[in-house]
Each structure stands twice: as structure tokens, then as C-alpha cells.
Chain A
Amino acid sequence: MTNLIILPILIPLLTGAILIFLKNRIMAQRVVATLSAITTLIVSFLMVHKVRNDGIQSLNISSWDAPFGITLVSDMFSAILVFTTSIVALVCLVYSFKSIGVEREKYYYYPVLNFLIVGINGAFTTGDIFNLFVFFEVMLMSSYVLLVLGGTKIQLRESIKYLLVNIISSALFVIAVAYLYSVVGTLNMAHISARISEASTNGMPGILTVIAVLFLIVFGLKGAIFPLYFWMPGSYYAPPAPVLALFGALLTKVGVYSITRTYTLFFYHDRDFAFQLLSILAILSVLVGVIGAIAYWDVKKIIIYNIIVAVGVILYGVSVMNHTALTGSVYYLIHDMLIKAALFLLVGVIIAITGTSNLKNISGLITRYPGLGWTFFIAALALAGIPPLSGFVGKLLIVQGGLEVESYIGAVLVLMSSLLVLFSIMKIFINGFWGEDRTYEGEEKAPVKWLLISPVILVVISALYGIGSESFLPYISQAAETLLDPSIYIEAVLKE
């Protein structure tokens, strides 16, 4: 079917519109939302296989040929990201049933959740730079609503910050696109790539380097890299657990995806400056992230700073830009989406039981919640990259790729950061789960069994992803090949 590629965008969009009509019928909302999430998952799975068998899929919307209309492009990188997004969205949805509360559910929680997925899947799939901007806005506006929904004091305060930062970065995005359009005269990403390549036969023109840096600033603000991460720890602290899990797992990763896409497709000629800058900023992000992660005694804050570490590690792999490191980056990106969602959901369960996120007020959870404890333990090991689990292969490949191009400082720092990540997450495990058993107010009311379903599923997937890495690597490797050789992408879109 020609339109298969658009279904992961279209299904949530239709569902979102239909759910608005079911405002007060919460059960109906839940059923419809779950069914649509499952359908999206199946469709995105089919998409991965189609890309695996037939190569890059592209769809010219409304039948206008490639550089003139909007094109949706699904290469392996996009397809597996959309698939992972669908998994995360489904489990966060299931988690929401018992945790988000009837009041929020009545005020369009599920429709907005669906619109968020529309934005994310769209951003991953689009082949048009301005369309990418539009999907960014769809995603951001839904995230504004999800952040502020409920209207507690902290949510209102942090929403204002988040809104301000993102409006400024969106304006910069439009300016960057305008600059790029004035230089190359096209918006189709494959066509831009071809035009930039023509212009850079004798090295990258200065203005294109400026645009490359501008794009790094724009997407860095969305993806929270080193000097532009300042808004994140506060904003992500505010929303409830399932929303936080969606944000932590998906939103920053869209920024990371966009940096990867633009740098490997547009600006790959500019190794001297833009890639150097990306590499330095990525390493600094890792450093700042681990400093934050070991500094705090707040479970949410620790995981939030770990997002910055992961973003740094992935982008370091992109800045190295050889096959090994890119494979590692893609592998690590998928791993990080799964495991961050699992960790935030687990932290949500801990907070539901204890009523606090301050680690100093939590101890001895393992005696009465062994399931929660061991799931958290495995998730923690996976995050740090202990061999059989999923964090290992990605980081190994990134470090190996770094060593291949003799970028020793970066590779060693990425390796060392694992130790501190492990320390920060084990701090939660040792202080929160071991020690003296205590009782907490209102813990009987916490639906622990239900809430545990989602993170357990994610941890199991992540463990399988690590153990069965041999069978996943062909897919990841195919994604890295496209990233490494833009001509494959250009040919698939422009069909020359």
C-alpha cells in the first residue's frame, strides 16, 4: 500500500480528533486510545520490515513530485525510531490509567497525548525541513499542554520557562530555515543535501557553516546539549510520572535525531569546524550531566541529568561519523529511549509509594516491594552499560569508533562517564531500597501492581535488545549506512 508510511502519523491524529468527542466517557477514551496505540505499533513494525526488505520508502504527499511537494521519507533510522516511539507511547498510556487521575483524564489528556505522538512520529518521518518545523510545533504545543495540565503551582511556573525557551528556539528555527532557503533555494531535505554538496566542491562556504551552527543551537535547545540544557532540569521536574517518561524518552531524542539528520545529510562536508564543535559540546554535555547526576539527592533530578549524559554520548558518536560510531549512536539512542522511559516510570512508582522524591526520606523498599527493587536494579545496570544488557553494545561501538579516529580524550571520557552514571543510579538503589524498612503515608492506596506492568515490559524489551543484539545489529547497521552515505537517501527521494 502506498500510504503505509503515513499511518503512524495519521492513526494518532484521527484518534486524537475522535477522543475529543468522548470527553466525559473515560473508559471509552482508554479503550480507543489503547486500540489505536496497538495499531500504530503494528503498523510501525510492518514499516521497519518494509524498509529492511525494499530499502528507503518515500511518499510524495498529494502526488507532487519530490523537490516540489512535501515528501515523507522513512529510512531505517526513522523507521526504528518510530517503532520505539510506539512502544514507549503504548506503555506510558497503560501506566496513565491508574496514575494520572480522573480530573486530568477528563480534560483532554488522551487526545493531547495522541497529538504529541503525531508530532514525534511526524518529525521522525518527514523529508522536508519546514515540515520538520511544523511537526516540532505540533509536538511542542502538545507538550506545553501536558506539562501544564492539572494546574499545580510548580507546573505553572515551569511551563512559563519551558514555553519561553521553546518559543525562542522555534523562532530561531524559522530564521535558520529562512537562511538556508535563501542560500540553497529549496526545502526538500534530499534536494538541500544535493545543492549543498554542489556548493561545497571546494570546501564548505562560510555561510553554510554559520547555518550549521545555527541548526546546532536550535536543535541543541530542544535536545538539551551542554550550554543549552539549562531549562530542562526544572521543566522536567514538574509534570506527573507518565508525562515525564514521555518527555524524557522522546522529546529530547527528537532534537538528537534532528542534529544527526541535518549533520549527516547536509553539513557532512564541514568536518573541520561544525563537527569539531559538535564533538566538544557533546563531551561537555556528558561532563555536565554526570556532575548533575551525582550531585543531587532527588530521584527525579538524578534521572533527568542522566538524559543530558545520554544526549552527549549519542552526539559524540555522531560527531565521530564513521560506521562503527554511527551504529553505536543509533543503537544507544534506541536503548536510551527504552530505558529512560522505564526509569522514569519506576521513579513514578517509588514516588507513588513514598509520596516524596527526596532520597533521604526513602529506605528499605526492597523488603516489601522486591519486584520493584529488582526491576530497578536491572534497569540501572542497563543504563550504565553492564555487558549482557542493552547499554553495553552501543557504548562499546561509540568508544571503539572514537578510538578508530584517534579521538582518545572523547572516547575515554565517554567510558569514564559510565562509572559515574552507575554511581548516581546505584545511589538511588542502595539508599532507597536497602536499609531500614519504613512505612509511608498512603502507600496502601498506590496501585503498585498495575503501575509496575509498564516498566517491567520496557525492562524486558531492553534486556532482550541487549542479549539479542546480534539479531538487531543488521537493522541498526543499515540505518548507519544511510546516515554515512547521503547519496542513498538522495536517490531514494529524488529518484534520479
Chain B
Amino acid sequence: MKKTHVKTNDVIFQPVTKVVAFIIIIYSLHLFFSGHYTPGGGFIGGLMTAAAFVLLLLAFDVKTVEKTLNVDYIKMTATGLLIAVLTGLGSFFYNVPFLTQTFSYVDIPLLGKTALATAVLFDLGVYLVVIGVTMTIIQTIGETE
């Protein structure tokens, strides 16, 4: 996002960002998955992932980040919206009210007995929408002259 003409040397900032951005993303995923039992969830998880992307934008310029991540954030928002709505649509097949959630315990190797709930899919939609919206706002403002 830098627009200066003087060539600066971010020899410390950029390598640190490369490490820190990953830690932030992993922490945001942790927040996302812990939403059901502890504070967290799609909204805060999405915001924190977006924060990691913003850090990348600060350390590198818009073009580099776009090339590296290669995501169309508006489509990402729409995908999130679709996922959230389609999760609800599942209820149509079982003839129960819209957005009725269900869960089951599954034995997954390594993780053991885990509860899988459809509410997570809805949260995934929220997560994608939040990242998409935040990044669209920041990138559009950043790119306008």
C-alpha cells in the first residue's frame, strides 16, 4: 500500500511479517473453531484473518499481495453468503423449519470423538463474508487515488 517515491528498505519489517502473519492466521482459525464452547466464532475469526492480510498489505504493496493470495474478495463475500444460506436450505430436505441445526459425534482418527455441527458451516459463511467485506473495503480505499 506504499505510495512513496523514495525507495525504503523494509529489511526487518518484511521478514517479521512473513512469520507473524502465519501466527495470526493460525490464531484466527483457532478462534473460529473454538466459537461453540469458548469465546470466538466466525466474526472475530474473520476479522483476525483479515488483520493478517492487512499486515501483509502494510509490509508489501497491493500488487504483490494480490498476486500471492489471488482472491476476488467480492466473490468471496458472495460465496460466504451462499454457504450460509445453503446451510439453512438443508432443512428443506428434512421438512423441518429453516436453519434448524443438527450435529453428530464422529470418531476421527487423531482427534478422537468430535462433535460435528452444521452450525459450523453457517459460521464458515460468516467467516468468509467478514474477510471478504473487510478486505474489499480496505483494498478499494487503498487503490483509489
- Whether the Cβ atoms of A62 and B97 lie closer than 8 Å is yes
| Interface locus among A17-25, A81-89, A278-286, A446-454 | A17-25
Query: Which residue of chain B has the shortest Cβ distance to A60 in the bound complex?
Result: B97
- Whether the Cβ atoms of A21 and B78 lie closer than 8 Å is yes
Chain A residues lying within 8 Å of B28, measured Cβ to Cβ, are none
Q: Report which of B74, B81, B89, B97 forms a contact with A59, defined as CB distance below 8 A.
A: B97
Q: 7 A-B contacts, Cβ less than 8 Å apart?
A: A6-B98, A16-B81, A18-B82, A20-B75, A20-B77, A61-B97, A62-B99
Is A3 on the interface with B (CB-CB < 8 A)? yes
Say what secondary structure dominates the interface of chain B.
Answer: helix
- Whether the Cβ atoms of A2 and B96 lie closer than 8 Å is yes
Is B14 on the interface with A (CB-CB < 8 A)? no
Query: Which residue of chain B has the shortest Cβ distance to A111 in the bound complex?
Result: B78
Contact mask for chain B residues 70-92; partner A; CB cutoff 8 A; 1 contact, 0 none: 00001101100110010011011
Query: Which residue of chain B has the shortest Cβ distance to A71 in the bound complex?
Result: B97
Is B17 on the interface with A (CB-CB < 8 A)? no
A59 to B92 CA separation, bound complex (whole angstroms): 13
A20 to B89 CA separation, bound complex (whole angstroms): 19
Q: Report which of B81, B82, B95, B98 forms a contact with A10, defined as CB distance below 8 A.
A: B98
- Whether the Cβ atoms of A62 and B98 lie closer than 8 Å is yes
A448 to B20 CA separation, bound complex (whole angstroms): 61
Q: Report which of B82, B88, B91, B97 forms a contact with A17, defined as CB distance below 8 A.
A: B82
Is B101 on the interface with A (CB-CB < 8 A)? yes
A180 to B117 CA separation, bound complex (whole angstroms): 34
Min distance, Cβ B77 to any Cβ of chain A, angstroms:
7
A13 to B95 CA separation, bound complex (whole angstroms): 20
- Whether the Cβ atoms of A63 and B75 lie closer than 8 Å is no
- Whether the Cβ atoms of A14 and B98 lie closer than 8 Å is no
A6 to B77 CA separation, bound complex (whole angstroms): 23
How many CB-defined contacts (below 8 Å) exist between A and B?
A: 47
Chain B residues lying within 8 Å of A2, measured Cβ to Cβ, are 95-97
Is A1 on the interface with B (CB-CB < 8 A)? yes
- Whether the Cβ atoms of B92 and A3 lie closer than 8 Å is yes
A34 to B9 CA separation, bound complex (whole angstroms): 55
A442 to B78 CA separation, bound complex (whole angstroms): 39
Chain A residues lying within 8 Å of B77, measured Cβ to Cβ, are 20
- Whether the Cβ atoms of A3 and B85 lie closer than 8 Å is no
A132 to B96 CA separation, bound complex (whole angstroms): 23
Min distance, Cβ A272 to any Cβ of chain B, angstroms:
41
Contact mask for chain A residues 51-79; partner B; CB cutoff 8 A; 1 contact, 0 none: 00000000111110000000000000000
Within 8 A of B (CB), among A1-58: 1-3, 6, 10, 13-14, 16-18, 20-21, 23
A407 to B81 CA separation, bound complex (whole angstroms): 51
Chain B residues lying within 8 Å of A23, measured Cβ to Cβ, are 74
A38 to B95 CA separation, bound complex (whole angstroms): 24
Within 8 A of A (CB), among B92-107: 92, 95-101
- Whether the Cβ atoms of A14 and B82 lie closer than 8 Å is yes
A62 to B91 CA separation, bound complex (whole angstroms): 9
Q: Which 4 pairs between the two chains have the least Cβ-Cβ distance?
A: A20-B78, A17-B81, A62-B99, A63-B100
Chain B residues lying within 8 Å of A60, measured Cβ to Cβ, are 97
A63 to B99 CA separation, bound complex (whole angstroms): 8
| Given A17-B78, A20-B74: A61 touches B85 (CB 8 Å cut-off) | no
A125 to B96 CA separation, bound complex (whole angstroms): 19
Chain A residues lying within 8 Å of B97, measured Cβ to Cβ, are 2-3, 59-63
Q: A3-B92, A20-B74, A61-B99 are in contact. List 8 more A-B contacts (CB 8 A).
A: A3-B91, A13-B85, A14-B85, A17-B78, A17-B82, A20-B78, A23-B74, A61-B97
- Whether the Cβ atoms of B95 and A1 lie closer than 8 Å is yes
